[in-house]
Amino acid sequence: DQQVKQNSPSLSVQEGRISILNCDYTNSMFDYFLWYKKYPAEGPTFLISISSIKDKNEDGRFTVFLNKSAKHLSLHIVPSQPGDSAVYFCAASASGGVDKIIFGKGTRLHILP
């Protein structure tokens, strides 16, 4: 049973445009959400997080939106840059992040020149 779903295995976006990565979750107890970026042969790097008390969190080019009623979150990258080409993992946890973190399967983002 996949509690965190990233339904798009891959996404291609033109450099300079907006990249939107989507994530759905099924567990209504989740209240803390994170996005990670992973290059090949490297460990995942934390990008941005959001608590369920907010519906938006912004950090530079990265913005995460949370729609609790739809159990959906998205990561927006504006503008997209070549270095953004990587696999992006959505993750979620309950109890304010104290509980274990569950990861989605990831979406591979290709930034096209």
Partner 1 sequence: SAVISQKPSRDICQRGTSLTIQCQVDSQVTMMFWYRQQPGQSLTLIATANQGSEATYESGFVIDKFPISRPNLTFSTLTVSNMSPEDSSIYLCSVAKGQGVLGNTIYFGEGSWLTVV
Binding residue for partner 1, selected from 22, 27, 49, 74, defined by CB under 8 A? 49
Binding mask 59-88 vs partner 1 (x if CB under 8 A, - otherwise)?
Answer: ------------------------------
Would you say 5 or 76 has its CB closer to partner 1?
A: 5
Would you say 17 or 105 has its CB closer to partner 1?
A: 105
CA-based end-to-end distance of the chain = 38
User: Tokens 């996005």, residue?
Assistant: 35
> CB of residue 95 vs partner 1: minimum separation in angstroms?
8
- Distance between CA atoms of residues 43 and 64, nearest Å: 21
Could you tell me which residues come within 8 angstroms of residue 45 by beta carbon, excluding any fewer than 6 positions away? 36, 37, 38
Contact yes or no for 68/50 (Cβ under 8 A)? no
Binding site for partner 1 (CB under 8 A): 31-32, 34, 36, 41-46, 49-51, 89, 91, 93, 96-98, 100-106
